[in-house]
Amino acid sequence: MNQTRLSVEAIKDGTVIDHIPVGQGLTILRQFKLLHSGDAVTVGFNLSSKSTGSKDIIKISGQYLDDAAANRLALFAPQATVNDIENFRVVRKRTLTLPESISEVFRCPNSNCASHGEPVKSHFSVRVSHGETRLCCHYCEKTFARESVIEA
């Protein structure tokens, strides 16, 4: 007999963000303001994963992410999948694509950048170079590894 035991309770309708790298679950909750949506949010940290060894997972009841929001996730969890759930079944499974640009999510690490002293919103072009995600600041035109750019 094949028995499956879920570590995090199933949801009837909503979104499941799966295969989040361990430690990124809280960042995604904060960045997407999921705890302030008014919807039930279930989170699992450091869960067992066949493909990566361990993972985080987020389940949002009654809310669906649009493609733009789902793709923004790729900046934090490029290997994550976004599953739309209806009546306890996966009706759509999305792999993520990096957006071409991103605004108001990160702060430029260049202390001389105009975005620090002026009332402007941060804006970066997103590029992939040698398998690494890089962000190019719209204002100072410097390029940084994704990991070195600070969340706004």
State yes or no: 140 annotated in a binding site: yes
State yes or no: 108 annotated in a binding site: yes
Question: b/e for 46-76, b at 16 or more Cβ within 10 A?
Answer: ebeeeeeeebbbbbbbeeebeeeebbbbbbb
Nearest to 92 by CA among 64, 118, 60, 68: 64
State yes or no: 136 annotated in a binding site: no
Are the C-beta atoms of residues 63 and 13 closer than 8 Å to each other? Answer: no
State yes or no: 137 annotated in a binding site: yes
As a residue count, the chain comes to: 152
Annotated binding site for Zn(2+): 108, 113, 137, 140
Annotated binding site: 108, 113, 137, 140
